[in-house]
Amino acid sequence: MTTDLSAVAILPVPFSPEQVIIALAVLIPALVIFNFLLISEGVFESIGFGFYQAVLVTVGALLGSFIDIPLIPVGEAVIAVNVGGAIVPLIVTLGMAARGLPPLQTLAAIAAVSIIAHISATPVPGVGITMPFYIAPLAGAIAGLLLARGCRAAPGLAYAGGALGTLLGADIFNLANPAVLAAFTGGRTVVLSIGGAGIFDGIFITGVLSVLLAGFAGRYLREKAGVCPQERG
C-alpha cells in the first residue's frame, strides 16, 4: 500500500545583488557595534562597576560621543569637551578611585601615558590629532601592570592611564600650544573638541583595549609567572 504525502517546498526569496550589498552594509557594522558594546560592558564590570552601572557607562560613552559642550573661546577657536570621550572617562576614573584604586599609582599611570601620547601624537589640520592606535592601549596596559605589579589593580590603572593619559597628552597638551591652535583654525572659527572623534572615539577604545590587555596579561603573570601570589586563582 502506498500513501501520498503532501510536500512543502521552501523556496528562496529572490534578492537582487544590490539588496544583498545594502543588507550586508547595514548588518555587519551593526553586529560589530553590538559585540563591542558587550565587550565594553564586560570591561567596565571587570574594573569594579555593577552590571547596570557598566551598561550606563557604555551607552553614555556611545551616545555622549556625539555631544560636545563648548567651554571657552580661544582666539578664533572654541574649545569644547566631548561627553563620551572626556567626561565619561573622567567619571569612570573617579568612580574607580572611590572604590579604592590607589591614587598615587593612578596619577603615575596617567602621567606616564600622557608623556608617551604627547610624543606620539601628530596634529593634522583638517583632520585632528592623530596617533597610531596601538600605542596608547599598550602604554596604558604596561603602566597598569608595572604599577600594580601584576595584581588585580592593573586593569583599573590601565584604564585611567590609557584614557586620561591620552586625553591629557594628545588632546589637551597639543591644544594648549598656540602654534597648533593657529594651524587648526587657519583664520576660521572652528570648534576643537577635547576627546571628540565621533562614534567609539579613540579615548573610549583606548580605555577598553588597555583594560583587556592588562587583564589578560595580569592573569597570565599571576598563574604562570607567580607574581602577586596572594591574588592567584
Instruction: Indicate the pLDDT class of residue 198, thresholds 50, 70 and 90.
Output: very low
**Residue pLDDT, tens place only, 80-123:** 999 988 999 999 999 999 989 999 999 999 999 999 999 999 98
**Residue pLDDT, tens place only, 22-35:** 777 777 767 766 77
Q: Above pLDDT 90, what percent of the chain? A: 33
213-225: average pLDDT: 84
* Rounded-to-integer distance, Cα 89 and Cα 121, Å: 19
* Rounded-to-integer distance, Cα 200 and Cα 189, Å: 26
**pLDDT at residue 200 above 50?**
no
More confident residue, 133 or 202: 133
**Residue pLDDT, tens place only, 61-75:** 888 888 899 988 887
pLDDT averaged over every residue in the chain: 83
DSSP alpha helix (H) spans, the chain: 17-46, 51-64, 88-98, 103-120, 135-148, 154-159, 165-166, 173-175, 178-185, 202-224
The residue extents of the domains of the chain are 17-224
Cα angle 227-229-230, degrees, rounded to a multiple of 5: 135
* Rounded-to-integer distance, Cα 35 and Cα 33, Å: 6
- Pairing mode, if any, of strands 122-124 and 128-130? antiparallel
Whole-model pTM? 0.83
